[in-house]
Chains A and B, each alone.
Chain A
């Protein structure tokens, strides 16, 4: 099977009840699964940003995007190209440390710059924030120890900033 094509949509919506149901409904009625979803208010509390990751071919996605924009409470939609965006995700995982593996788990967390957020007699809950593929790798390495619970946030994303070097006045202005 071909690897699914992830598309990341960043949707700015009015922060009102029912908006998420309207947005998700447009995917659901066509039978498209939402791969991940993150919603939270923006710096302006009247608006929320929904970051939605879906596995959809480009053609239906264009149509869904247009339909999304018809929703009265949707203010702005951007499709983020993963190479032109910064994406982050956070994971919480409870890992078994029964067989004296606690120090190995701690070492792994430290290697990834993660954090131990809870300590039990025979388990640790660890946290890591990072790019989605980093999280994937972390999860793979933790799995042999025995993951009893795991929760990922779904990715959040913003477009990358312009990287043009600022031009200094003295170099652009000609002395005449």
Chain B
């Protein structure tokens, strides 16, 4: 027996059947008919203050839980406001389903009120997008959207829904409910068949190269987390004894306190991680994409290294660096196969002698640890010391979010990540303002975890209004603003590469007054200016669990992020620190 319903009801019912527990959104004209049946649904709706917030919350939720984040907004300006999060999710392969309202089907293309070509605008920044033209297609398109968003290389999928097909007053919205099966969804997507199993011959070849390499490095990217492959990675690393670098997107995929962990490589990575990759004879790239921030100048990148490249996206293999052994497949499945193949060759006992490599690496670690100049009386706080206090005062499974810039690099450098899915940041797109809404989304997804956002003052001003959302929804996130009164990373580049000509980077430390602003938004606001205030403020923040907390840490604007590989330089030219003697290490 068929059930008659309207398109709006069908959309909400489809989301319920997909297991959606929360939607981040903001209603408006074209999406109104969908918000009506939402009242009767068990799905929680978080009413954001700006549509960009909805998108980043969905991303934060997805990164913390592994499930697709869902955002729903209206047409026109709402759709354009969510373009940045869609692009962010696309760059960082975050599963997300975004539903946008659209003007009635017959009005599309007439410059109707709040009309924009959402499909056209988002075509190149979504994994897929679809305009629904008939109400009866809604269940199938929702199923396809979740399937596409969460399988293969994950990414954002947008569904654009004209108002008439969800409006019960319009006969076009009427449909007979039908929920398609998995087989029907798959049959409806003949061009979408992600390869998950690696090629057996390539896996054998990879195992052979791994066992024979004398200076190998496991170069681990965000794909490990997307594939839920952290355990498989650990098994491979411990079987072979090969050191591991975790890129910005993979922090937490391998525990920082593991003896084989070298930490983050790249432009602001630590010396050992950068140099180990540079000097290696075999890079085992797992779910990583040879981003320019990791490779430095490509011509001089890891010149002696053979490459094993595992990725679920065939387009990544050979995009930047031609692999010797390309393997298309799901990272977890492929790593498990590689572990079996390495064992077939004799396992741990059959690995090449790497004692010289190990001692070289530990030599670098001793000689070039991560350091900063200690705080002196009368100076503003060192951002690094704030982070050290924060990391030692929070549970080890705390989820840390960040925006983009110096504070992001310092957090990635100075935190000790011990668990996967504890680090949420914007890597590929580098979206300032990501931290606050992403932290809210992460906390909604993992209410059992403590969630801290480390933010910059510049970033905070871009999306801080979402703390009103958090306060009204009782989402107790904690925000540490490393307030150096500057667009710090831009300032650093102007100091180092533009002869200290500071162009449009000064923001002022107390305009706005962050403490008062936080309080006005329903949060607890604090200001910390001296070292002895750091710990009590953090302890107080940790004890508050019924509203958001914002701490304005006044930090030193002169502090720069080191080590640094200057743009255009090879990874052999690492600037260790600000002092003369630190210089360039060749």
Contact = CB atoms under 8 A, between A and B. Distances in A.
Interface string A126-165: 0000000000000000000000000000000000000000
Contacts of B190: 14, 46, 75
A69 B120 contact: no
B77 interface: no
B168 interface: no
B191 A73 contact: yes
A63 B315 contact: yes
A66 B315 contact: yes
A18 B119 contact: yes
24 contacts: A13-B191, A14-B190, A14-B191, A17-B131, A18-B119, A18-B131, A21-B123, A25-B123, A25-B124, A46-B190, A62-B318, A63-B318, A66-B315, A66-B319, A67-B315, A69-B314, A70-B127, A70-B315, A72-B128, A72-B189, A73-B191, A74-B191, A75-B190, A75-B191
A75 B192 CA distance: 7
Contacts of A74: 191
Given A14-B190, A72-B189, A74-B191, A66 B314 contact: yes
A63 B192 CA distance: 18
A128 to B, nearest CB: 35
Contacts of A21: 120, 123
Given A22-B123, A72-B128, 12 more contacts: A17-B131, A18-B123, A21-B120, A25-B124, A62-B318, A63-B315, A63-B319, A66-B314, A69-B315, A72-B189, A72-B192, A74-B191
Contact of A29 (B124, B127, B318, B319): B124
A72 B315 CA distance: 14
A40 interface: no
B148 interface: yes
A46 B189 CA distance: 11
Nearest to A70: B315
Interface residues of B, number: 17
A75 B189 CA distance: 9
B337 interface: no
Interface in B309-323: 313-315, 318-319
Contacts of A18: 119, 123, 131
A65 to B, nearest CB: 9
Interface string A1-43: 0000000000001100110011001000100000000000000
A76 B193 CA distance: 11
Contacts of A46: 190
B327 to A, nearest CB: 15
A172 B161 CA distance: 63
A119 interface: no
Contacts, number: 39
Nearest to A63: B319
Nearest to A71: B191
Interface in A59-104: 62-63, 66-67, 69-76
Interface string B540-584: 000000000000000000000000000000000000000000000
A146 to B, nearest CB: 40
Contacts of B319: 63, 66
Interface string B123-145: 11001100100000000000000
Contacts of B119: 18
B313 A70 contact: yes
Nearest to A13: B191
A71 B313 CA distance: 12
B313 to A, nearest CB: 7
A100 B319 CA distance: 60
Nearest to A17: B131
A17 B123 CA distance: 13
A66 B148 CA distance: 17
A73 B189 CA distance: 7
Interface in B184-234: 189-192
A72 B313 CA distance: 13
Contacts of B120: 21
Contacts of A22: 123
A87 B351 CA distance: 54
Chain A to chain B: the 5 pairs with minimum beta-carbon distance, closest first: A66-B315, A75-B191, A72-B128, A74-B191, A72-B192
A69 B124 CA distance: 14
Contacts of B127: 70, 72
A67 to B, nearest CB: 5
Contacts of B313: 70
A21 B319 CA distance: 23
